[in-house]
Amino acid sequence: MPTDARLSRAVARWGIRLAEPYPDVYSGNLVYRCTLRDGTPAVLKTEPERRGVDEFLTGIEALLLYDGRSVVRVLEVDRDERTVLLERVVPGEPLWRTPIDAALQAAVSVMARLRKAPPDKSSFPDVRDYHGAWSDHLGLYGGPGPIDADLFEIGERLFLELCDSSSAPVVLHGDLHYGNVLSSDREGWSAIDPKGVSGEPCYEVGDLFRNRVDELYDTSDPVRSMRRRVETVADLTAFDRERVRLWSLSQAVLSEVWSVDDPARGAQVDLRAARLLHRIGALG
């Protein structure tokens, strides 16, 4: 039995059998492989309360809204206990090592299916709320701090401009990186761990550019390689190429702001992506 009381109560309540925990999960989270009474594989997850928007609850609401369409299914949930029992995606291989063209195609195919209009009286936060990170950062550093001054200013300006010019919002996954898209016998590819936020569809592309950045720098021309990635995603989604670049640039800066403000997060990775996206220049 686990030492965490919430997981112990979930095991008893839902009649499941725990197996090994998943390694390398977000700090404070507990995620275990498990099986149901009939032997069906599943996943048991719990998260602590954190400051700000409750991404555990909004993530659950997003999963329920998507209802298994290119996303993991919710089997049981106890919101008060902050514990959820989920379908286990099988075979469950993420896109980290999939050749990039195939990885982008898989991620975009999932992205296209995870677009639902926000329900009435939606509790999903708006992506615009993330703008507060720049003010918080200024409160800590009195300026851009360890972030390139030009990118700090450009990222904030672009973020506001893009929010102001956004198309009608949908409920977005909000964290659709290569580790959150898994190979699935049920659907080909399924997403896990949504944040559940409201924003225009093009916002969702950002994670595809601030992850797997090292392989871009391993090429002879990292800027050209990043440009090709932007053009590929734009072609696959039919989004405007420049809007794809600008959303990705502003989000890379935003993610770097979060990283340098949180000692638990690794810094500089997102800034490396932002620099390449900036150096591409405007795309027609």
Considering the domain architecture, whether residues 139 and 259 belong to the same structural domain is answered as yes
Domain count, the chain: 2
pLDDT digits (tens, 9 = 90+) for 156-172: 999 999 999 999 999 99
Q: What is the pLDDT of residue 267?
A: 56
Domain identity same for 103 and 81: no
Q: Given this model, what pLDDT does residue 121 score?
A: 76
Per-residue pLDDT for 1 more than 60? no
- The stretch 30-36 carries a mean pLDDT of 96
With CA atoms as reference, report the closest residue to 230 among 159, 281, 190, 180.
Answer: 281
DSSP-based helix, strand, coil % in the chain, nearest 5:
45, 15, 35
Looking at residue 4, what is its pLDDT? Answer: 85
Q: What is the mean pLDDT of the chain?
A: 94
| Same domain as 147, residue 33 | no
Percent of the chain with pLDDT over 90: 86
DSSP letters along 66-122, please?
A: HTTSSBPPEEEEETTTTEEEEEPPSEEEESSSS-HHHHHHHHHHHHHH--BPPPTT-
Average pLDDT over residues 18-32: 89
Q: Is the pTM of this model over 0.85?
A: yes
Q: What is the per-residue pLDDT across 102-155, written as a single tens digit (0 to 9) for each?
A: 999 999 999 999 989 998 877 899 999 999 999 999 999 999 999 999 999 999
- Asked if 77 and 153 sit in the same domain, the reply is no
| Residue 145, domain extent | 92-280
Residue 7 neighbours by CB under 8 Å, 6+ apart: 18, 30, 32, 44, 46, 83
Of 68, 88, 108, the position where a domain reaches its end is 88
- Is residue 83 within 8 A of residue 214, CB to CB? The reply is no
Which of residues 88, 115, 149 is at a domain's end?
Answer: 88
Q: What angle do CA 195, 243, 117 make, to 5 degrees?
A: 40
Helix (H, G, I), strand (E, B) or coil at 16: coil
Looking at the structure, tell me whether residues 259 and 128 fall in a common domain. yes
Distance CA 236, CA 229 (A): 11
pLDDT tens figures, 264-279:
665 567 999 999 999 9
Identify the domain boundary among 33, 59, 88: 88
| pLDDT confidence bin for 2, thresholds 50/70/90 | low
Contact indicator for 143, 135 with CB cutoff of 8 Å: no
Q: Is the peptide bond before 91 cis (omega within 30 degrees of 0)?
A: yes
